[in-house]
Amino acid sequence: MSSSSATPLHTVDLIRKKRDGNPLSEEEIGFLVSGAATSTIPLEQLSAWLMASWIRGLTVDETRALAIAMRDSGEKFDPTRLGKIAVDKHSTGGVGDKTSFLVAPIAAACGVVVPMISGRALGHTGGTLDKLESIPGYRTALSLAEFESVLRSCGASIVSQTLSLVPADRVLYSLRDRTGTVENAGLICASILSKKLAAGLDALVLDVKTGSGAFLRKMEDAEMLAALMVATAEAAGTRTVALLTDMGQPLGRASGNWIEIAECVELLRGERHASSEDVRELSLRLAGWMITLGGKASNVEYGYKMAESALEDGSALAVFLKMVDAHGGDVSVFDDLSAFHKPDVTRVLNAWDTGTIVDMDTMAIGWAVQRTGAGREAKDESETPSESLGWDPVDPHAGIAFHARRGARVEKGQPIATLFATTAAQMDEAEARLKAAIRISDEPVGAPPPLVSRIFDRESAEAYLANPVKVKKTRTRD
């Protein structure tokens, strides 16, 4: 009947096709994505298509077509001129997840180049860019030319996304947020991959979180997303693996901004702390894969060893310091990590009972961290970080340091966490939330889940997706 375009493809016909459960072709998806990027298809039509896609599900082919069309909707970064294999790591988001500051310098120290375009704190999860900006002077908003220059000199650069990259994703993500079409494996996968593919990566390592602090709490949903991302990225020509990793408690001992940077600097200096061992181990495993997919190690065991050496011999620290300096950051703040930390309000949370920490509701802990002032409640317009859209500021010194972890035996009155907040009122709310999220009991505690529960490569991802029962289950309900 009506149509919004004079071209042979009519938006309403495509919406109806998807509505009726039929997959759209690459050309049809390209038409819709291009209409989103150029504002030639009205938002109400795009949102009808997104809702039909959410309910009917996207096939792997549709997901790939969507990721590629979004990738191609704007400017792209071309790392081939750097003369090195470009590898990145992407995490689906968690609490205390600071591996980027370790894996980027480790992998760069081992000979690959890491062009990392990162995001900001959102809801219960922290943001890589916010953490970096706790270093005085660190500029995350580089032009593509500056990005290339830092990569050339340091081998790694962590920046915010420019407005010119994947404009279609910015439009569609913002729309999904307003129209209840966020939590869908195909749409999430295409959105993430479009940004990664726009960075021209040769290889990609995905850290898909599971457990109480993950966006997708259910193991089968996380598995579905991981398999779909691997299959899609591989089909688009990027060598990819996905690790399913535990987010059943905060990662490491610090959740916040500066305090996470400080924890990483200690690890980069070769210092070991029992409560940071999980961050160290996960970073080495992720970096091991980055090095291996980047062709610098013949197998992942050797990649892991190379990563460990780079951490222990100071070469990763050297890359990190050089990168911070190249971004305008003041590396002198690393001279005394505690002296630089100047929170407005500090409070120690003592154990209110004697027993074992049997449970940490990590999403709730993430919200407690957010309430200290370290995070932000909701993004302004889009998941896509864009400096021009005016993000709410975060408090670089706020956050929570954990002194006891899941499974630990604690005595009543023993400090289990220290909170750093912007105001006393924020402190009260954060403390109440943190307390409610931690359960101390004499119940027996089961064995903790493994740090890495499953790894998908191309073959295992395709085998997983070929199982229609699981695929259907995950697609039709969240």
Annotated active-site residue in 64, 195, 280, 285:
195
Element (H, E) at 220: helix 219-235
Reduce the DSSP state of residue 395 to 3 states and report it: coil
Nearest distance in Å: CB 180, a copy of itself = 4
Please work out the total of residues on this chain that contact a copy of itself, with binding judged by CB under 8 A.
33
Written as one string, the DSSP assignment of 135-197 is STT------HHHHHHHHHHHSEEEEEPPTTB-HHHHHHHHHHHHHT----HHHHHHHHHHHHH
Active site (annotated) includes residue 176:
yes
Told to check if 47 binds a copy of itself by CB under 8 A, we report yes
Written as one string, the DSSP assignment of 302-364 is HHHHHHHHHHHSSHHHHHHHHHHHHTT--GGGGSSHHHH---SEEEEEEPSSSEEEEEE-HHH
Told to check if 371 binds a copy of itself by CB under 8 A, we report no
Annotated active-site residue in 64, 89, 131, 176:
176
Annotated active-site residue in 71, 84, 90, 454:
90
Q: Which residues contact 446 (CB under 8 A, 6 or more apart)?
A: none
Active site (annotated) includes residue 273:
no
Residue type at 351 in one-letter notation: A
Q: Which two tokens stand for residue 442?
A: 């004499």
Told to check if 26 binds a copy of itself by CB under 8 A, we report no
295 and 165 Cβ atoms separated by less than 8 Å? no
Under rule CB under 8 A, which residues in 258-317 are in contact with a copy of itself? none
Rounded distance, CA 450 to CA 404, Å?
19
Cα distances (angstroms) measured from residue 333 to each of 183, 321, 338, 359, 425: 40, 11, 9, 35, 29
Q: Which is nearer to a copy of itself, 115 or 167 (CB)?
A: 167
Active site (annotated) includes residue 386:
no
Told to check if 19 binds a copy of itself by CB under 8 A, we report yes
The one among 20, 274, 335, 338 contacting a copy of itself by CB under 8 A: 20
The one among 9, 25, 34, 55 contacting a copy of itself by CB under 8 A: 55
Nearest distance in Å: CB 141, a copy of itself = 24
The one among 5, 39, 42, 432 contacting a copy of itself by CB under 8 A: 42
| Residue where the block lists tokens 């709730």 | 364
Told to check if 52 binds a copy of itself by CB under 8 A, we report yes
413 and 350 Cβ atoms separated by less than 8 Å? yes
- Residue 274: exposure state from Cβ atoms within 10 A (0-12, 13-18, ≥19): exposed
Q: Which is nearer to a copy of itself, 42 or 393 (CB)?
A: 42
Told to check if 12 binds a copy of itself by CB under 8 A, we report yes
Nearest distance in Å: CB 219, a copy of itself = 20
Active site (annotated) includes residue 458:
no
Rounded distance, CA 48 to CA 181, Å?
10
Told to check if 238 binds a copy of itself by CB under 8 A, we report no
The one among 36, 37, 56, 200 contacting a copy of itself by CB under 8 A: 56
Active site (annotated) includes residue 209:
no
Query: Which residues are designated catalytic?
Result: 90, 169, 176, 191, 195
**Where do contacts with a copy of itself occur on this chain (CB under 8 A)?**
1-2, 4, 12-13, 15-16, 19-20, 42-48, 50-52, 54-56, 123, 175, 177-182, 378, 477-478
